[in-house]
Amino acid sequence: MSTSVKILGFCAFLCSVSADYWSERDAILKKEASRALGAHLRLSDREEKVNKILMSYKLKELDDGMLHPENFLGGQHFFKAKKGIERSKVFSIIQKLPKGASLHSHDTGLVSYEYLYNLTYMDNLYVCINSGPYRLHFFTDKVNGDCEWQLVSALRRLNSSFDDDLKKRLTLAVDNPYVAYPTTNDVWKAFEGIFMAVAGLLGYAPVWREYFYEAMKELYEDNVKYLEFRGILPEVYDGNGKIYNQYEVVGLYYDTLKKFVLDYPDFQGAKFIYAPNRKVDNKTFHEYLEIFEKLKRGYPNFIAGFDLVGQEDLGSPLSSFIDELLIMKQNGTEFFFHAGETNWQGETPDFNLLDAVLLGTKRIGHGFALIKHPEVMKLVKHKDIAVEICPISNQVLKLVDDARNHPASVLIANDYPVVIAPDDPTFWGARGLSYDWYVAFMAMTSRGDDLRFLKQLAMNAINYSTTTGNQREEVYEQWEKDWSTFLEDVLINDNVIG
C-alpha cells in the first residue's frame, strides 16, 4: 500500500473520530441547555422578535465583558455596578417586563432609598444620637425624656455634616464594602442598625400608611402587580400617644391595600407573612403563636403564613422550636421559612434547610446553602418547593462576591422552582425587582438563556404565590395582558439594534 493511500486512510479515520467527538459534545451541550429553567417554553413569533432584540443586547454585554472583565456589570459588587446597570439596554427591557409577583421582601425595606430619605424632611421628626444606631421619632406635642432628642430640621441648619451622616446611617451602600464590612457579622450589625434607626421613622402611623402605599406603587411602576411580603409587625404610634398592637398594625396594612387597589384596579393584591425575629426563647416564641392565631382569625385572606427572620448564623435554629412548629403545621399553618442563608456547612444554621423541608415549607427564603445538601435538593425538587433567590442581598450581606459564582446558578441550570426577589432593596439602593432580575439574567444564567428564562421567572412568581382559584386566574389574566403590551412596547421602541 502506497504512503499516500495510508495517509488518506488515516485522514478518513481521523475525520470520522473527530465527527463523533463533536457530535457527542454537541449532544451534551444541547441536553444541558434543555434542562435549564424556561428551556421547555416555545416562543411565539412576536416573542421570537423580542428575544432577538434582547439577546443582541445581552450578548454584546457578555462579549464586552470577556474583553474587559473589569467592566462586566454582572461580576461587580452592586454598589459599583448600579449606575452602569441603569444604563444597560438589557435592564431597560427587564424594567418593562411584567414580572408576575414579588414573593420575598420585608416590611421596613420595601421602598426605594430616595423615598425613605425624603421622609426625614417631614415636620416634627426628632433624632436621638448616641454611641449606637441613631433613633428617629416623631413628636407632635411633648418630647419624652428617654433620650436627648433633637429636632432633625434644626440639626440640618446648625450642623452642615449632619445630613451626610444621616444619609450614611440609612443605607449599607458605601464606596468600598469590602473594607467597611470585613465579615458577615459586621455587615449584619450595620444592617440591623438601620432597621433600628428607621423603626421610629416608619412607625409613625401617618407615615406607615403612606409608606406601604408607596411600596406598592413602586412595584406597580416596575411592572409587578402582586405582592407577598414578610413583616415583624414593629411598634406603630400616632401623635396622640396611641401605640398600635400587632392586630391593629395589620389593619393599617389591609386598609391601605384596599385604598391602593381602588386607585390602581389592575393591581392584583397583597398578602402578609408574619415573620418575627428568630433570636428568641421558647416563651417569646409562644407569644408569636398567639399573635399569629389572632391575625389569622381576623384577616384570613390577608395572612399567608409564618416565618422567622434575622441572621441565621447567630439566631435560634428551627430545631429549637420543632414541637411548636409541628403543632402549627397540624393546625394548617403555611410556612415560608428563611433557610440556608449561610456560608457554613454542617453547622447548626445550615440544618435549617432540612427542618424547613420536613416541616412542609411552601417556599424557602434564600436557600443559599441548598446545593451542599444533595438529599435536600432531591426533596425540594420532588415536593416542588420554590426557592426565593435574592442575588443582590446575598452579595451585600457577604455570602458571595461575584454573582457568577452564586450557587443558584446550579438550580437555574437544572430547572429548579426558582423565583427572583429583592429582599430589602431600600438599604442597598435598589427598587422593585428589576435590579435582581438583571443580575440573575446576566450573571447567573448561561450565555444562551434568553427570554424564555425571564418569562418562566414571571410565571414561577405567580405559580408559587399563595393565590388560588379565581384570584390565581385573575392574576394570570392580568399578567398575560401586560405581557402582550410588553412585547409591543419592545418591538416599537427597542427595534433598533446597536
Residues annotated catalytic, as ranges: 341, 366
> Using CA atoms, how far apart are residues 316 and 377, in angstroms rounded to an integer?
23
Rg, C-alpha atoms of the chain: 25
Distance CA 320, CA 376 (A): 20
Task: Please tell me the distance from the alpha carbon of residue 478 to that of residue 462, in angstroms, as a whole number.
Answer: 11
Burial class (CB in 10 A: 0-12, 13-18, 19+), 123: exposed
From CA 336, how far away is CA 356, in angstroms rounded?
8
Decide: 270 and 224 in contact? Cβ < 8 Å. no
- Element housing 382 (H / E): helix 374-383
Please state, in angstroms and rounded to a whole number, the distance separating the CA atoms of residues 261 and 98: 18
List phi, psi (to 5°) of 303: -85, 115
Packing angle of the helix pair 184-202, 205-221 (nearest 10 deg) = 120
Helix ranges restricted to H, 203-267: 205-221, 246-263
Q: Which residue has the cell 399578567?
A: 479
Number of alpha helices (DSSP H) and beta strands (DSSP E) in the chain: 20, 12
Residue 113: CB atoms within 10 Å: 20
Task: For residue 305, give the amino acid letter.
Answer: G
Among candidate residues 392, 378, 454, the one with its CA nearest the CA of residue 418: 454
**Of the candidates 248, 223, 195, the residue with the CA atom closest to the CA atom of residue 99:** 223
Distance between CA 396 and CA 422 in Å, rounded? 12
Are the beta carbons of 408 and 380 closer than 8 angstroms?
no
Q: How far apart are CA 214 and CA 216, in angstroms?
A: 5
- A 10 A CB-CB count for 28 gives 10
DSSP, res 369: T
Longest CA–CA separation in the chain, Å: 109
State the DSSP H helix or E strand holding residue 479, giving kind and residue range, or none if neither.
Answer: helix 469-493
Cβ proximity of 292 and 306 under 8 Å: yes
CA 496/CA 90 separation, integer angstroms: 13
- Residue spans of alpha helices (H) in 35-143: 45-67, 78-87, 89-96, 113-118
Counting every residue, how long is the chain? Answer: 498
